[in-house]
């Protein structure tokens, strides 16, 4: 088994609308970019893990091979909600860690521009007027809006409102201020889908999607891809000093799902599996929240960012509102969160997001983030969560060279 795992090369494409490129084009761009960034080729790869959600049945990994090199290696096609990219990376990490291969490639890609609201479910399974107990679903009518909602804006609106009801301190304006921060951060990220600073008034007066989230407080559906090359410590030590210097150590790689809780059988719970992942990651990495220099977390909505301050233990339990109001999460604060602009500005091409969040952290740990660089960053965390449910968490550390 490998003693340690490193990210050797990593890249994300420009997120946004790419009508001239399909998923294979975008995945190829990211894969070739990551290989080049790591100074290696497909011939060096022992495994390919390819993440894609919207076209999951198409075998994106095999299609990608035809563009970047068919070397006969095992291919894993991964689909795991919004944690798809992080799961693809973890698949490659586990293969390297097991000693089966010494290098692997993970890719996440999505074409999502113009997709509209995601996750609306609970559609009728029968046109008849009476309930028929056939199969797993036998409902005459939609459950959406009757026992909660399955649309993503609605779910995360409820998550934020529940947190405020339980702990207090939240308001429409507070959630809007989180989006204001992320849109301000985006102006320093040329790869973000949107790089426009927005005033608090603009955000609060934008189209209401699901209270308290307006349109500019929601993640942006867009196209994009990201990819990473992982390598064993033993293999890395045979490579050039420059490759070793730029490599980023994977201190923790964790994937969780929902444990049984009575409440989450009706309404999704984004909290427990994230908190469980954070506990495991801190223990695995041998660090605590106070050791993190930056965090990229899954702000699919402004309300989600707030609750994840608490779930990731960046603040004391119930203290997320006060933590944000302290200014800690701004780029020049004590715990910068979503310096990339977050999903609200950078965009959220589902399967690409998990690796893109890791790319952002790696960029800072390498000292290559340009005007948005967090000076002296040594340790960072990347977090994604997908309903269904899955939470991917990685803690990363810069090379000591």
Residues 175 and 87 in one domain: no
Query: Is 21 a domain residue?
Result: yes
Residues 96 and 173 in one domain: no
Residues 172 and 226 in one domain: no
Residues 166 and 60 in one domain: no
Tell me which residue range forms the domain holding 245: 5-115+222-249
d(CA 237, CA 158): 49
Residues 380 and 392 in one domain: yes
pLDDT in tens, 42-78: 999 999 999 999 876 678 999 999 999 999 999 999 9
Q: Could you tell me which of 339, 35, 330 has the C-alpha nearest to residue 188?
A: 339
Residues 229 and 109 in one domain: yes
| Residues with catalytic roles | 82, 348
Q: Could you tell me which of 251, 237, 335 has the C-alpha nearest to residue 287?
A: 251
pLDDT in tens, 139-148: 555 556 666 6
Residues 107 and 200 in one domain: no
Residues 172 and 311 in one domain: yes
Query: Is 157 a domain residue?
Result: yes
Residues 103 and 170 in one domain: no
Q: Could you tell me which of 329, 245, 253, 246 has the C-alpha nearest to residue 294?
A: 329
Which of 203, 232, 249 lies at the terminal end of a domain, its last residue? 249
Residues 108 and 161 in one domain: no
The answer to whether 29 and 225 are in contact (CB under 8 A) is yes
pLDDT in tens, 90-140: 999 999 999 999 999 999 999 988 776 665 554 545 555 565 666 665 555
Tell me, what CATH number does 197's domain have?
3.40.47.10
Q: What total of structural domains would you count in the chain?
A: 2
Query: Is 122 a domain residue?
Result: no
Residues 227 and 269 in one domain: no
Query: Is 200 a domain residue?
Result: yes
Residue 154's pLDDT is 87
């Amino acid at each position: 088994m490998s003693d340690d795992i490193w990210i050797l090369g990593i890249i994300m494409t420009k997120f946004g609308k790419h009508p001239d490129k399909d998923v294979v084009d975008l995945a190829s761009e990211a894969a070739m970019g990551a290989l080049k960034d790591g100074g290696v080729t497909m011939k060096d790869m022992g495994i390919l893990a390819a993440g894609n959600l919207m076209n999951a049945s198409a075998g994106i990994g095999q299609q990608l091979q035809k563009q970047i090199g068919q070397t006969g290696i095992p291919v894993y096609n991964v689909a795991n909600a919004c944690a798809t990219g992080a799961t693809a990376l973890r698949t490659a990490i586990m293969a390297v860690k097991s000693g089966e291969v010494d290098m692997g490639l993970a890719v996440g890609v999505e074409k999502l521009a113009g997709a509209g609201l995601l996750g609306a479910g609970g559609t009728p399974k029968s046109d008849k007027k009476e309930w028929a107990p056939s199969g797993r679903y036998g409902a005459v009518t939609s459950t959406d809006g009757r026992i909660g909602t399955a649309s993503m804006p609605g779910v995360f609106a409820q998550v934020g409102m529940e947190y405020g009801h339980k702990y207090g301190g939240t308001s429409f304006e507070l959630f809007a201020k989180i989006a204001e921060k992320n849109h301000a951060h985006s102006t320093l990220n040329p790869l973000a889908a949107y790089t426009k600073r927005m005033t608090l008034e603009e955000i609060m007066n934008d189209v209401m999607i699901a209270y308290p989230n307006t349109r500019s407080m929601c993640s942006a559906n867009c196209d994009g891809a990201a990819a990473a090359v992982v390598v064993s410590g033993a293999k890395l030590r045979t490579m050039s000093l420059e490759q070793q210097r730029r490599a980023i150590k994977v201190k923790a790689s964790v994937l969780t799902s929902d444990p049984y809780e009575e409440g989450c059988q009706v309404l999704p719970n984004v909290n427990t599996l994230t908190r469980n992942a954070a506990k495991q990651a801190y223990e695995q990495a041998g660090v605590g929240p106070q050791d993190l220099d930056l965090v990229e977390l899954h702000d699919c909505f402004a309300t989600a960012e707030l609750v994840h301050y608490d779930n990731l233990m960046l603040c004391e339990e119930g203290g997320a509102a006060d933590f944000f109001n302290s200014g800690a999460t701004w780029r020049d604060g004590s715990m910068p969160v979503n310096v990339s602009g977050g999903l609200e500005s950078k965009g959220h091409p589902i399967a690409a997001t998990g690796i893109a969040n890791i790319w952002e952290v790696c960029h800072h740990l390498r000292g290559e983030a340009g005007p948005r660089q967090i000076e002296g960053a040594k340790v960072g965390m990347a977090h994604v969560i997908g309903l269904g449910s899955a939470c991917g968490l990685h803690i990363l550390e810069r090379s000591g060279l």
